[in-house]
Amino acid sequence: MSEPFLRSLFGLEGKVAVVTGGSGALGAAMAQALARVGARVAILARRLEPAHAVAAALEAAGGNALALSADVRDRAQVEHACATILERWRQVDILVNAAGGNMPGATLAPDAALLDLDPEAFRAVVDLNLIGALLPSLIFGAAMIAAGGQGIIINISSMAAHRPLTRVAGYGAAKAAVENLTRWMAVELARRYGSGLRVNAIAPGFFIGEQNRSLLLNPDGSLTARGASVIAHTPAGRFGAPDDLAATLIWLCGPGAAFVNGVVVPVDGGFSAFSGV
Contact 231, 238 (CB under 8 A): yes
Cα distance between residue 53 and residue 64, in whole Å: 13
Cα distance between residue 71 and residue 78, in whole Å: 7
User: Which of 140, 171, 207, 271 is the catalytic position?
Assistant: 171
- Is 171 an active-site residue? yes
Amino acid identity, position 59: E
The widest CA-to-CA distance across the chain, in whole angstroms, is 59
Cα distance between residue 201 and residue 103, in whole Å: 22
Which residues does the annotation mark as catalytic?
A: 171
